[in-house]
Amino acid sequence: MTDQFNIGIIGCGGIANRHASVLSRLEVVNLVAFCDIAEDRAIGFNEKYAESKAKIYTDFAQMYDSEELDVVWICLPPFAHTNEVELAEPMVTAAHVQEVVEEEEEVEELEGEAVEGEEDEAPADGEAPAEGAASEDGGKGDGES
């Protein structure tokens, strides 16, 4: 077993901050590469999470070709995925690279946690329903159904 895992992160935006923040504090992790189409974001991640020791890429295929990665952390929103996973597959087979892909459901779950408590709750007996909520009488307000 290796002492550290060399990790490359693709996508240096919102959700990647959560992942990089945790990864950067783990002794078994070596953040070696950051890739983002906006180079300044990758540079910012390098400074914040890798003490400017990682390499910066704007092309994930070039990162795959240049780095010896144990793990590829793909932190792109679902609409931005292209062929990151498919191009990593030869590395998975050849070098046991693990891919971690944010699935849409997981992103939605995280977003839901961020706005937790903002949904209207059902009113207790005797309380007026929240504005815009349908009442038991179908919204007539006269008690007749």
Q: Is residue 55 part of a domain?
A: yes
Q: Does residue 96 sit within a domain?
A: yes
CA 138, CA 140: separation in Å to the nearest integer?
A: 6
User: What is the average pLDDT across 129-134?
Assistant: 45
Paired residues of 31 in beta bridges:
7
Residues shown for the chain = 145
Residue 17 carries which side chain, given as an amino acid letter? N
pLDDT tens-digit map of 21-61: 999 999 999 999 999 999 999 999 999 999 999 999 999 99
Output the domain CATH number for residue 56: 3.40.50.720
Q: What is the 3-state secondary structure (H, E, C) of 45-82?
A: HHHHHCCCCCEEECCHHHHHHHCCCCEEEECCCHHHCC
- Whole-structure pTM over 0.85, yes or no? no
Q: Does 120 fall in a domain?
A: no
Domain of residue 56 covers: 5-108
The verdict on residue 89 lying in a domain is: yes
Q: What is the pLDDT of residues 85-130, one digit of tens each?
A: 666 666 655 544 444 554 445 555 555 555 554 444 444 454 444 4
Let me know if residue 130 belongs to a domain: no
Position 63 in a domain: yes
Tally of domains within the chain:
1
